[in-house]
Chain A
Amino acid sequence: MSSTFSTNRSPPTARSWFELNYRYRIPFWGIAYVLPTVLFFAVFKFGPMLWAIELSFTNYDMVSTPTFIGLENYRGLIADPIFRETLINTLVYIAGSTILITVVGLALALAINTGVPGARYCMTAMFLTNLMPIIAVCLVWRFLLHPYGLVNQLLSPLGFGRINWVTDSATAMPAIIMVTVWRFAPYFMVIFLAGLLAIPQDYYEAAKLDGANVFQRFWHVTLPQLSPTIFFVVVVSALLSARIFLMPYIITRGGPGNSTRVLSMLIYETGFSYLKMGRAAAISVVLFAIMMAFTVLQMRLFRGSEQERFR
């Protein structure tokens, strides 16, 4: 750097001023670029979350001033069978859709990656479902899952009877998970494809020379190489499914009974239909705890990848 400035004929005082300025100028710009985002998150993410925790200890109802009632809201939730059922539904939904999204996403990526001509176009076609508005997805699938709808039409030659997908409590949750996978798996297929393309070709060549067959190569090369991607997909799709609202809201209305009601629906109903803001805030804290568990996993993953970068 000094050689660059030695050709500069400015007096030494000005130069040292410039260098001093430079040392502080750069961090200043870094802070300036990040600051709007940090302020935004303080107002719209962290502030509201702290407020939710505070409200969860009150009986706030939008009308009277909130009074502190301690753990009463949480005690009420534990005693409430509808809440317990909803919590279990949410966990079942998260587990089911996360596992299936990961498996289907990976399977689709492997199918695309066979290098068959036209694979690109098939990928684009599959990705379209991910761009279709969720509300349109829900309305279309509500008709497709109708007892006389397309799904049953296609299944009947295989010997299935008329399945009441959304009105039978045994099939309602699987149906919603299926629609979720249909909508989101192609996105993760793209993530998996990027991961597959990043695996060095030499590894496969070496494995082939050692006489490994297709499945051995998948097990010993692809899976270990892909494990950061798999972990990422699991965490992201779990965070995504924990937030689900529209699919059960449109396709099953939370029914039959309570069998597909999820936490976000319960938060909305408790808060805005019954105006029990304190209790709704307590449910939010429960949902937050679920999301936090997955985010901690995500952070561990992130820290690992950062350390690799700086190694």
Chain B
Amino acid sequence: MTGRPPAQTWLEWVGPMWRRAIGITFLLALSAVFVVPIAWMTTTSFQSGEKMFQLATEWIPSEWHPENYPNALSRDAFPTYFLNSFVISGVVMIGNVVFGTLAGYGLAKFRFPGDRFVLLVILSTLMLPLEVTLIPTFLVIHQFGWLNSYQGIAGPLLIEAFGIFLMRQSILSIPSDYLEAARIDGAGELRILWQIIVPMCWPALAVLAILSFRDSWDQFLWPLTVVSVDEYRTYPLGMVRFEEDYGNPPTEQMAIAVLATIPVFLLFAVLQRWVNRGFGLSGLK
């Protein structure tokens, strides 16, 4: 990377070799705290049911049970639930990326009457998450006739203030001279957005994409409120029903949990090149 020395070395009272060894061990131990539960989920999803609550966890199953996966999927309408979640999260992700970029750009690079006020209005929506406005938003969706529909679940999630601020922050760092130069050369406003702003914002766009996908993939309370038919259930609702039914083996719950985790990890793997820069971590070794 940039060859930047570490900002602050906690371990400098010991020699460099020992420092490294202690540092690596310490970091690995810390990482283990975060990784072990994920590993447990994965290994348990291949475990046989009766092995689950032994006195010692069997980290590598003595007998592999990959059939937990098809079994779990066939018990409830999980393929439908996952499909619903994909559709909704995809739409919400696109909505957040598109409107976050538009509004972020509008607020970063344009002066118009009331622009400060709009900024304040958008900031103040941080105190109005769906958990707070649950009852009236449900009534609004009810008025629209959108209960039990994709638009009913995805609609209120389509724009979040977080994305607007992320994009605004990123676009502020683009010199305005570029835009002026393009305007003088006769580029249309949409072309400026598409050919100058967007290519310079990939890192922020990647962060926004992954976080907005994850947030709508995680949504539970809102679908629980507006969905009452199996056809439009998302996978978290399916998982809770699955879990509440005591006949279902816990290993199969873990199989569904693994399946639910894979799409977010995959998206992260695809976008990771930009995500680190988007978070401002390019100086990290």
Residues of A within 8 A of B (CB): 1, 4, 22, 25-34, 36-38, 40-41, 43-49, 51-52, 55, 108, 110-120, 122-126, 128-137, 139-141, 143-144, 146, 148-150, 153, 182, 186, 190-191, 193-194, 196-199, 201, 204, 214, 217-218, 221-222, 239, 242-243, 245-246, 249-250, 264, 267-268, 271-272, 277, 280-281, 284, 287-288, 291-292, 294-295, 298-299, 302, 309
Give the secondary structure class of B's interface.
helix
Let me know if A196 and B7 touch, CB within 8 A: yes
**Is the CB–CB distance between A264 and B8 below 8 Å?**
no
Expressed in whole angstroms, the minimum distance between the Cβ of A237 and any Cβ of chain B is: 13
Q: Name the CB-closest residue of B to A282.
A: B135
The reply on B97 being an interface residue by CB < 8 A is no
Inter-chain contact B8/A214, CB cutoff 8 Å: yes
A284 touches B135 (CB 8 A): yes
Q: How far is the CA of A242 from the CA of B131 in the complex (A)?
A: 9
Assess the A34–B106 pair: CB atoms within 8 A: yes
Interface residues of B in 95-119 (CB under 8 A from A): 99, 102-103, 105-107, 109-113, 115, 118
**Cα–Cα, bound, A31→B7 (Å):** 43
Q: Give every chain A residue within 8 A of B235 (Cβ-Cβ).
A: 135
Complex interface: chain B residues within 8 A of A119 (CB)? 27, 284-285
**Closest 6 interchain pairs by CB?**
A30-B110, A115-B6, A33-B106, A116-B23, A48-B136, A194-B280
Give Cα A284 to B155, complex, Å: 21
Contact (Cβ within 8 A) B4 A34: no
- Distance between Cα atoms of A292 and B248 in the complex (Å): 42
B129 within 8 A of A: yes
The answer to whether B24 touches A48, judged by C-beta atoms less than 8 angstroms apart, is no
Contact B110 A214 (CB under 8 A): no
Q: Does B9 contact A (CB under 8 A)?
A: yes
Cross-chain contact A277 with B55 (CB below 8 angstroms): no
Q: Are A37 and B159 in contact, CB atoms less than 8 angstroms apart?
A: yes
Q: Which residues of A contact B243 (CB under 8 A)?
A: 139, 250
| B229 proximal to A (CB < 8 A) | no
- Flag if B122 contacts A41 (CB, 8 Å): yes
Which of B103, B109, B164 counts the most chain A CB atoms within 10 A?
B103
User: Is the pair A30, B236 in contact by a Cβ cutoff of 8 Å?
Assistant: no
Chain A residues contacting B103 (CB-CB under 8 Å) are 33-34, 36-37
Could you tell me the distance between the alpha carbons of A292 and B204 in the complex, rounded to whole angstroms? 27
- Cβ–Cβ < 8 Å partners of A221 in chain B: 8
Residues of chain A lying within 8 A (CB to CB) of residue B135: 52, 55, 267, 271, 277, 280-281, 284
Across the interface, A267 reaches (CB within 8 A) one of B120, B134, B239, B268, namely B134
CA distance A141 to B44 in the complex (A): 13
Q: How far is the CB of A143 from chain B (nearest CB, A)?
A: 6
Given A114-B6, A197-B281, the answer on whether A51 and B121 have CB atoms closer than 8 Å is no
Q: Quick check: is B53 within 8 A (CB to CB) of the other chain?
A: yes
Residue of A45, A190, A267 with highest tally of chain B CB at under 10 A: A45
Interface 9-residue window, one of B60-68, B70-78, B250-258: B250-258
Q: Is the CB of B131 within 8 A of A135?
A: no
Q: With the chains together, A194 CA to B56 CA distance in Å?
A: 40
Supposing A27-B110, A284-B134, A299-B120 touch, asked if A143 and B8 sit within 8 A by C-beta, the answer is no
A113 touching B105 by the CB < 8 A rule?
no
- Give the contacts of B164-190 with A (CB-CB under 8 A): 164, 172, 183-184, 189
CB pair B140 A118 closer than 8 Å: no
When distances are taken between beta carbons in the complex, the residues of chain A under 8 Å from B224 are: 268
